A and B are shown apart, each in its own frame.
Chain A
């Protein structure tokens, strides 16, 4: 990292909030290792926060179920701008095996604009970490007032597609 980015670049600080919108907990299990010594996401300035009002990035896991919809929308409305929304796992991206169910209101992009998709059931921690580092660039663009036309897709092992 250059001295400038070490001292003054606000994009090197990403606070992440997680929403479980009816997930089976598989994706949560894969996000937890990000803060273990093996992956250590904190070296990039990434930190979990417990409230949406502190968040820069929101990770949403699970197809948005009818019960979860109201809470998810309320939480997303509390996240201050600029922020990035990442859909983690097959369920959040497309509905997964639950697609077409009467109990679903989602997937998420029917309800709220999504900036990044991470594929996989569940995605590997590498994929989620890559998505968070890509979110850094999207945040930088959003601070300058630019908006990207189409969202990025990250495959389970951390390759960025659709650029």
Chain B
């Protein structure tokens, strides 16, 4: 019993650091794709420490209550899913709500300031959330319907017969579509566009508040990658220490293909283009997938 608490505390300290390392690895991979040397892989970790040492300077008319609520929601919406997916404990529906709550945290953080950049960022973030969260929810619902279970420990590709595996391709593809928007990388990071509206909702925060925001973003990325690994790419016989090694390797591969390659292959699209894309392609796949899975259940599969 004591062991499990020690494990949780250890993971609570180590996993955020590993998430920052993954962010650094992603930056290094981007740099290598562009033919640059790139920062050391600990760069995001150094940025985090740097932000903690800075003094905080906020606008005078900041709504502090809203800022703190937003930051807490944002942190919780990334930290708790991260622990849940790595420990394989908890409920998929709860995980879905928590990850949507993280997006809500970003919106609240942006609404705490009166800066027009922040407001524009919040508005775009909200439109994006409406566009992609529905596909995310579809992906999770289809997974639950195919596997027939809701907990993270049993809900897995290896827990169902071989004939059903192709059905899981639908949520897997949906996840690949949603991942860049959920993490917020270049083709669809319209709400936080760094060069355009100066990081949108985070434009006025600095110091340790920004450190929390950056940490949450990294943790959200790792949690999402591990969720994809856990649901669709984990064989049954991988346990113990091999589970951790396998997870971290596959997470790295997923980060490369869903984040780095996408980010270097495309430039930022406009909000109407992004919303139109998410409201057509992934949503259609989701609805068709849901209908197929529902009919299959009717036939007793």
Contacts and interface: CB of A to CB of B under 8 A. Distances in A.
B260 to A, nearest CB: 15
A10 B53 contact: yes
B56 interface: yes
A43 B38 contact: yes
A146 to B, nearest CB: 15
Contacts of A48: 195
Interface stretch (B202-210, B218-226, B245-253): B202-210
Given A10-B49, A78-B57, A80-B57, A51 B204 contact: yes
A117 to B, nearest CB: 24
Contacts, number: 92
Interface string A1-12: 100001111111
B18 interface: no
Centre residue among B27, B54, B117 by max chain A CB count within 10 A: B54
A48 B53 CA distance: 19
Nearest to B57: A80
B56 A80 contact: yes
A137 interface: no
Given A10-B53, A53-B57, A42 B36 contact: yes
A56 B7 CA distance: 37
B198 A45 contact: no
Given A40-B31, A78-B57, A7 B45 contact: yes
Given A50-B199, A51-B199, A80-B206, A6 B38 contact: no
18 contacts: A8-B46, A10-B46, A10-B53, A11-B50, A12-B40, A13-B47, A37-B34, A37-B36, A45-B47, A49-B199, A50-B194, A50-B203, A51-B203, A54-B199, A54-B210, A80-B56, A81-B55, A143-B53
State the 3 A-B residue pairs at the shortest beta-carbon distance, nearest first.
A50-B198, A10-B50, A13-B50
Interface of B: 27, 31, 34-40, 42-43, 45-47, 49-50, 52-57, 117, 194-199, 202-207, 210
Given A8-B49, A45-B40, 17 more contacts: A1-B40, A7-B42, A12-B43, A12-B46, A13-B46, A15-B47, A37-B34, A40-B31, A43-B31, A43-B37, A44-B39, A51-B204, A53-B204, A53-B205, A54-B210, A79-B57, A81-B55
